[in-house]
Chain A
C-alpha cells in the first residue's frame, strides 16, 4: 500500500462519510497526516496512532449504535 492508495481510499471515504458525522475536516487532516506517515522513514508516532483512534471511534460508535 502506498500514499496514493491511501489518498484514493480516504478521498472516497470523505464523500461517503459526511452524512454520518462531521468528519470532513477530520479526514482532510487525516489524509495529510497519513501521507506524511507513509512517506516518513520513521513510521507513525503515538500521536499518529491516536489520530487513527480518534477517527475510528465515532464511526465504530455509529456502526454499533
Chain B
C-alpha cells in the first residue's frame, strides 16, 4: 500500500493545479446567461415537452387497460407525473428567466441550476417510461 503519491500522481496534481490556475485567469463561459437559459429551454421543449404532449395525445387508457403496440394509450398515472414535472420545470425556467433578464449583472447560477435540475427530473420520466 502506497502512503505517498508517485511521481505520476505529482504530475497529475501539477496539471490539475495548472488547469485551475488557467481557469481562474480565463473562466469558462457563464451558463447563467440569457443564451444559456434559452438553450436549456429549447432542449426542454424538444426532449420533454414534445414527447410528453405526443404521449398524452394517444388518449388515456381505460381503467384496467394496458397500452399495447396495436392499441397505444396513455397511462393516467404517467400523464399525471408528466404534468407535475412540467409544472415544476416551468416554474423553475420562468423564475430563472425573470431573474436573469431583470438582473443581468448578478449571479443567476442558483436559478439556472434549479432549472437544469427540474429539466433533468422531467426528462428522466420520459426515459423511465420509454415515452417517444
Residues of A at the B interface (CB closer than 8 Å) are 1-2, 5-6, 9-10, 12-13, 16-17, 19-20, 23, 27, 30, 34, 37-38, 40, 43-44, 48-49, 52, 55-56, 58-60, 62-65
Contact = CB atoms under 8 A, between A and B. Distances in A.
A52 B43 contact: no
B56 A13 contact: no
A13 B38 contact: no
A1 B39 contact: yes
Interface in B36-84: 36, 38-43, 45-47, 49-54, 56-57, 79, 82-83
Contact of B43 (A5, A17, A49): A5
B35 A43 contact: yes
The interface residues of chain A, by DSSP majority, are classed as helix
The interface residues of chain B, by DSSP majority, are classed as helix
Interface of B: 33-36, 38-43, 45-47, 49-54, 56-57, 79, 82-83, 86, 90, 97, 132
A48 B75 CA distance: 34
A27 B53 CA distance: 15
A60 B93 CA distance: 14
A27 B54 CA distance: 15
Nearest to B58: A19
Contacts of A49: 38, 97
A63 B83 contact: yes
B39 A43 contact: no
Contacts of B40: 1
Given A6-B42, A38-B39, A44-B35, A59 B53 contact: yes
Given A10-B42, A52-B42, A62 B56 contact: yes
B42 A16 contact: no
